Amino acid sequence: METKNRTKKGFLKYFDLSTAEIKQMADVMSQKFHDKNDPKKERNLCTSLIHVSNFFTILPLFLPGLLIWHYVYSMFIGVTCVSIERVLATYYIRDYERTPRTHIGMGLLCSVHCISFPFAYLMVNNRIPFIIADSFCIICVVYVCVIYFILWLVNVKLGIRFSVPGTYRLAQQFQVKENMRHIMLARNIICCATFFVAIACSLLMTIVLDLLPVWLNNPVAHCIENCIFLNPLLICTVAIFSVPSWKKEFIRWLPMVRKLRNEHVLNQNVLNHEDETKEYFQQLKNAWL
């Protein structure tokens, strides 16, 4: 359920990003339309964009740019905070699912926004070099990979230790299995996200270092934006196909698949994954009482 909520938040974050991008593109196109009627202003466009006398005149462009960079940094910082949450889940493995710890989730959520907004502001205003901004994202990815590798080793050892009958409670065994499932899911998501982020960063470096002809800058910039904006949809798709029960439900409710499925398959009485999950949680609840 917790991972499902993260997937829903990913869709909401993508909707927020799309709104910012549509607003920014509309303002840019409107600016270009007005500039066509004034050749002198079109020749001095770069100069007028650098020297801004009134901040409120560029506010429609500033806010979408701030939201876009906030989205980019919240992706890297958010994944880092999720890995920290799994570390805490392993540390409090005895009663993590049973004892509510709201301060952990709220603290990590506030940390994501408190760190991403300053970085987004500095990037929009060109206050930090590109190398530093790129290095911060790379450090986050490396940190997450190392943390998940260590968590995988720790949970494998805990799973072997907790497999002894009668030694540990069912809640602890369940938490170890939950951590392992989360690590496998995170592995697939990190591989997918890293692939597209690497493409976007490579293309961005070619623009920053002037390795391409001038006429290729705009097409490459659009490719970078598409790599960034399509990333959440691909990550959510990978997350759905990484969980067997989610994958089954997703495929079952596809329009074409629903028509091709036979009625006896839909009405079968065999215990499915959802029933097994409900029964397992009921047993887990009874074990905690």
Question: Residue 74 half-sphere exposure, CB side, CA atoms within 13 Å?
Answer: 22
DSSP string for 95-121:
TTTTS--HHHHHHHHHHHHHHHHHHHH
Q: Which residues contact 262 (CB under 8 A, 6 or more apart)?
A: none
Query: Domain residues of the chain, as ranges?
Result: 2-242, 245-289
Residue with tokens 């429609």: 60
Whether the CB-CB separation of 120 and 70 falls below 8 Å is answered with: yes
For residue 246 the two structure tokens come to: 């989610």
Residue 280 in this model has a pLDDT that exceeds 80: no
Element of type H or E holding 169: none
pTM of the predicted model, to two decimals?
0.62
Banded model confidence at residue 110, pLDDT cuts 50, 70, 90:
very high
pLDDT digits (tens, 9 = 90+) for 6-52: 544 554 555 555 555 555 555 554 544 444 444 444 444 444 445 66
Among the residue ranges 41-50, 135-144, 184-193, 239-248, the one predicted with the least confidence is: 41-50
Query: Radius of gyration over alpha carbons of the chain, in Å?
Result: 24
> Which class would CATH give 2-242?
mainly alpha
Dist. CA 212–CA 220, nearest whole Å? 9
- Stretch among 38-52, 104-118, 235-249 having the lowest mean pLDDT: 38-52
